[in-house]
Chain A
Amino acid sequence: MLTWIMENMATIIISAVLIFAVAAVIASMVRSKRKGKSSCGCGCAGCAMNGACHLAEPETLRK
């Protein structure tokens, strides 16, 4: 078993990194979905009139 792990160490580490990255992407998409953002990632940035209006709504400022 140990020999197999040693022989495939690179594959195991790279696979783990890849799985972590995929999990992070899924978590980020789930978070966006819960916040009501579309999975297409558009929002204001996807709007053709984005240049004219770009402020968040509602917006909370501290003064």
Chain B
Amino acid sequence: MLTIIRHIGLAKTNAYSKEGDTIADLCNLISERPDAILNIIDGTNLERNLYLTTQLTELGIPVAVAINMMDVVEKNGDRINTEELSRALGCKIIEISALKGNGIMEAAEAAIDAAKNGKTVPMHTFSGTVEHALAHIEEAAVHGLPEEQQRWYAIKLFERDDKVLEQLNLSGTVLSHIETDIKAAEEEMDDDAESIITNERYIYIGSIIKGCLKKKSAGKLTNSDKIDKIVTNRFLGLPIFAVIMFLVYYISMVTVGSAATDWANDGLFGDGFHLLGIGSEDYEAADDETLEVTVETATLADYENALAVVEQYGDEPDPAAYGIWVPGIPVLVGNGLEAAGAADWLAGLINDGIVAGVGAVWGFVPQMLVLFLLLAFLEACGYMARIAFVLDRIFRKFGLSGKSFIPMLIGTGCGIPGIMASRTIENERDRRMTIMTTTFIPCGAKVPFISMVAGAIFGGSAWVATSAYFVGMAAIIISGIMLKKTKMFSGDPAPFVMELPAYHMPTAGNVLRSMWERGWSFIKKAGTIILLSTIVIWFTTYFGFTSDGFRMLAEEEMDQSLLAAVGGAIAWIFIPLGWGNWQAAVASITGLVAKENIVGTMGILYPGGWPEIAANFSMAAGYSFLVFNLLCAPCFAAIGAIKREMNNAKWTWFAIGYQCGLAYAAALMVNQIGSAFTGNLNVIGLLAAIVILGGMIYMLFRPYKEATKLTTNMKLKTAR
């Protein structure tokens, strides 16, 4: 049996980070002692990737190297002499292309061969001064360890690595002895020990690359470089990103996605639809005809005749009389329950609760699939990494660590892995700030309610959906500036180096699989947690205390329901935000269970659908509702992740309090200032908004606590 343990992100750390995670992983590797290591590296950026390879070969564990992305290497006309590279590194090297599926089995077999046939001996050596110090350290401190592990431990001791020092627990005499050797080397080479090893590794890699890699376009710009000159341009980068995100949302929410979602909401989860559109045109023509209103002077007899005709044919045409009519799920379920003779409460629970609630969420599946397809394409072709680069430059100026952007990028899918990804940030203050702000970026679960607000209140505007991303980013940047100016978060951001993969055309299979995995996760979630929530919401909406005692309520009696009582008790809080009705208050609270619940709850509480929602929200109130639910505390699962990552109840509550406070302040400003512009001025509300805005501007422009300006310390390295 072959067990593969994947160390994701081991290679993602770099020579300029503190390498805490790499060392921890390497320590795990050396103590777990797997039979072999299969090191998969990026062939388009060989120099940087071989850095980790040189470390792995020092562990005394057999290593096989698989050079990935060979399809791109060959396409670029570059050639890698794997035989020579294999000799220089002391391990077997296989060329693979994960995208095309080439060389995968050979790589696995190479790893098995490496496991069966002995060990890997590191071929690289450092300069004489370093080797001299390493020999002393090996002799003095790690002599008792297995021979094949001695070199790696000696190098780590030379680098004064905390984790290794802690693990070996050396005596004070030994420590002072090896410190003398390290200091001597540092003085001779005029650098600190860690940088000496880093530089020596790159010098060695540079020397072997010369003989093993022939670049066709050495010194010339590759196609990726040419595209990056425009896409990551200092001035054009952000506008290009805005246009691309607008197109993504325009396609997924207004054009293709909207047509599909209209069918799902109005047809599949509505009254029904014409199969393949057969009969739609005739029905619409007949419907338009009946909508024509003419004013005529008629006798009483003519009027009575007209009434008789309306009574005979109905006041609007029956769609089922045109083409092939397929009834919607609520109609089929309703008819089925009626035919079976189910009790009214059960029919109501299933149709008005489960079908309306879950259906309202599932109705967005087509839009979500189109959105996921486009995002998967952007990720797979390499553009997402460029977005990280473009925004990293901006974020750093505002005090957020460049590493903070990775959790936020992951947070676009789901906030939980986003929050967990903040572990890569060594600086505790930056990590806490990243945890607090990661969920401001709209995750997949927030997309349905963003789409619902855009569709119901803003006529399906793509700008509203796109703006949600920019509101999230603005909240992160503003939070970054404001929090960095407090004592709790002050300090310079940590340096960060990012690797940009070459652009490439993704395979249809990869993009479709990514789309389906995310789409299926969304569908499954609506069938589990959302389904349970809709049952609770229906019971509490359709049951309540009336003058006749506790009983089931009719649709027009919802105001007397249990949920109305609970919602009414907290709805006053949201009056300044423009949506102080119990339905919106309850929807926001149920969103804490899962953000899709906002849509499910609105589906149950507004049986009239989008027109009823539009009638209950002004544009300012609608956008305020969107902003509040976008920025406020995330779902309980994500709050749990915040608690785990903060590992401190006080910080967890602070994070939730900050998120809700910022959401409330932003939504209040949106509603009050928006209402003032649309002619619904509320003087007290506007004053409150101006005071909040003033407070935020003060926080944005007040001087930093520890320094007069924020400086960044970023080392740049250009791969050739």
Interface set of A (CB-CB < 8 Å, partner B): 8, 10-11, 14-15, 18, 22, 25-26, 28-29, 38-55, 57-63
State whether B2 touches A49 (Cβ < 8 A). Answer: no
Q: Are B416 and A42 in contact (CB under 8 A)?
A: yes
Q: Which residues of A contact B417 (CB under 8 A)?
A: 42-43, 46-47
Given contacts A11-B343, A40-B594, A42-B416, contact A25 B532 (CB under 8 A): yes
Q: B6 and A55: CB pair below 8 A?
A: yes
Task: Kindly state whether residue B494 has any CB partner on chain A within 8 Å.
Answer: no
Cβ contacts under 8 Å, A63 to chain B: 1-2
Dominant secondary structure at the B interface: helix
Residue contact B380 to A22, C-beta cutoff 8 Å: no
Give the distance in Å from the alpha carbon of A28 to the alpha carbon of B411 in the complex: 25
- Decide yes or no: A10 and B341 within 8 Å by CB, A46-B521, A54-B514 being known contacts: yes
CB-nearest residue of chain B relative to A9? Answer: B341
A51 and B5 in contact, given A25-B528, A45-B520 (Cβ under 8 angstroms) = no
- The answer for the CA separation of A63 and B524 in the assembled complex, in Å, is 32
B2 and A46 contacting across the interface, CB-CB below 8 Å = no
A25 to B5, CA, bound (A): 31
Contacts of B341 in A (CB 8 A): 10-11
Which residues of B in the span 376-402 have a Cβ within 8 Å of any Cβ on A? 376, 379-380, 384
A44: min CB distance to chain B, Å: 7
A14 contacts B346, C-beta separation under 8 Å: yes
Cross-chain contact B517 with A50 (CB below 8 angstroms): yes
5 smallest CB-CB distances across A and B, nearest first, come from: A46-B414, A42-B414, A51-B514, A10-B340, A45-B521
CB neighbours of B142 from chain A (8 A):
none
Assess whether A51 is in contact with B1, with CB atoms less than 8 Å apart: no
Complexed CA–CA distance, A58 and B8 (Å): 10
Distance, CA A49 to CA B384, complexed state (A): 9
Supposing A11-B342, A14-B337 touch, asked if A51 and B594 sit within 8 A by C-beta, the answer is no
With an 8 A cutoff between CB atoms, is B635 at the interface?
Answer: yes
Taking the complex as formed, is B375 at the interface, i.e. its CB lies under 8 A from any CB of chain A?
A: yes
Task: Given A47-B417, A48-B412, verify A22-B4 contact (CB < 8 Å).
Answer: no
Q: A49, B409: Cβ atoms under 8 Å? A: yes
Q: Which residue of B lies closest to A24 (CB)?
A: B528
Contact check, B380 vs A52: say whether CB atoms are below 8 A apart: yes
Contact with A along B400-415 (1 / 0, CB 8 A): 0000000001111110
B637, A57: Cβ atoms closer than 8 Å = no
Distance between Cα atoms of A43 and B686 in the complex (Å): 43
Q: Mark B408-443, 1 if CB is under 8 A from A, else 0.
A: 011111101100000000000000000000000001
Q: Closest A-chain residue to B411, C-beta based?
A: A48
Query: Would you call B18 an interface residue if the criterion is a C-beta within 8 Å of the partner chain's C-beta atoms?
Result: no
Q: In the complex, what residues of A have CB within 8 A of residue B663's CB?
A: none
Q: How far is the CA of A20 from the CA of B1 in the complex (A)?
A: 40
For residues 96 through 114 of chain B, which have their beta carbon under 8 Å from a beta carbon of chain A?
A: none
Contact status A51-B637, CB under 8 Å: no
B215 CB within 8 Å of chain A: no
Of the residues A8, A15, A48, contact of B375 by C-beta under 8 Å: A48
**Min CB–CB distance A59 → chain B (angstroms):** 5
Q: Does B3 contact A (CB under 8 A)?
A: yes
Measured CB to CB, the nearest residue on chain B to A15 is B346
Complex: A55 Cα to B528 Cα, angstroms: 25
- How far is the CB of A3 from the nearest CB of chain B, in Å? 14
A29 to B443, CA, bound (A): 21
9 A-B interface contacts by CB (under 8 A): A28-B528, A40-B414, A42-B414, A45-B518, A47-B417, A48-B409, A51-B379, A51-B514, A58-B6
Please indicate the chain B residues that have their CB under 8 angstroms from the CB of A18 in the complex: 346, 349-350
Chain A neighbourhood of B3, CB < 8 A: 58-61
Interchain CA distance A36-B4 in the complex, whole Å? 20
| Residue pair B518, A41 in contact (C-beta under 8 Å) | no
Contact at A46–B6, with CB atoms within 8 Å? no
> A38-B414, A40-B416, A51-B376 are known contacts; what are 4 more A-B pairs with Cβ within 8 Å?
A47-B417, A50-B413, A51-B380, A63-B2
Given known contacts A18-B350, A51-B510, A57-B5, A46 and B376 CB-to-CB distance under 8 angstroms: no
Residue numbers in B under 8 Å from A50 (CB-CB)? 376, 379, 413, 514, 517-518
Which chain A residues lie closer than 8 Å to B532 at the CB level? 22, 25-26
Contact at B413–A42, with CB atoms within 8 Å? yes
Contacts of B343 in A (CB 8 A): 8, 11
Verify if B511 is at the interface (C-beta below 8 Å from A): yes
Complex CA distance for A38 and B384, rounded to whole angstroms: 25
In the assembly, what is the distance between CA of A53 and CA of B514, in Å? 10
Given A22-B532, A40-B594, also A54-B517 (CB < 8 A): yes
Q: How far apart are the CA atoms of A26 and B108 in the complex, in Å?
A: 40
Q: Given that A46-B417, A48-B412 are contacting pairs, would A40 and B637 also be in contact in the complex, using a CB cutoff of 8 Å? A: yes
Who on chain A is nearest to B3 by CB? A60
User: Is B525 positioned at the interface, with any CB of A under 8 Å from its CB?
Assistant: yes
- Contact residues of B between 1 and 40, Cβ < 8 Å to A: 1-6, 8
Q: Are A14 and B517 in contact (CB under 8 A)?
A: no
**Chain A residue with the shortest CB-CB distance to B417:** A47
Is A10 a contact partner of B518 (Cβ separation < 8 A)?
no
Once the chains bind, are B517 and A44 in contact (CB under 8 Å)? yes
A14 near B342 with CB under 8 A, answer yes
A41 and B524 within 8 A (CB): yes
Note all chain A residues with C-beta closer than 8 A to B2.
Answer: 60-63
How distant is the Cα of A11 from the Cα of B346 in the complex, in angstroms?
7
How many angstroms from the CA of A51 to the CA of B443 in the assembled complex?
16
Residues on B with C-beta less than 8 A from A44 are 517
Distance of A48 Cα from B641 Cα, bound (Å): 17
- In the complex, residue of chain A having the shortest beta-carbon distance to the beta carbon of B514: A51
C-alpha spacing A22/B350, complex, angstroms: 12
Given A46-B444, A48-B375, A48-B379, A38-B416 contact (CB < 8 Å)? yes
